[in-house]
Amino acid sequence: MANHKSSIKRIRQSNTKRLHNRYYAKTMRNALKKFRSLTEKAEAEAILPKLHSMIDKLAKRNIIHKNKAGNLKSKTVKFAAKLS
Contact in structure between 32 and 42 (CB atoms under 8 Å): no
Q: Using alpha carbons only, give the angle 55, 38, 26 rounded to the nearest 5 degrees.
A: 35
Show the beta-strand stretches assigned E in 5-60: none
Listed in order, strand segments (DSSP E) in the chain are none
Q: For 37-73, what is each residue's pLDDT tens digit? A: 999 999 999 999 999 999 999 999 999 999 999 999 9
The residue extents of the domains of the chain are: 5-82
Chain centre to alpha carbon of residue 35: 13
pTM given for the model: 0.87
From its phi and psi, is residue 30 left (phi > 0), alpha (psi between -120 and 50) or beta?
alpha
User: Which CATH topology does 5-82 take?
Assistant: Methane Monooxygenase Hydroxylase; Chain G, domain 1 (1.20.58)
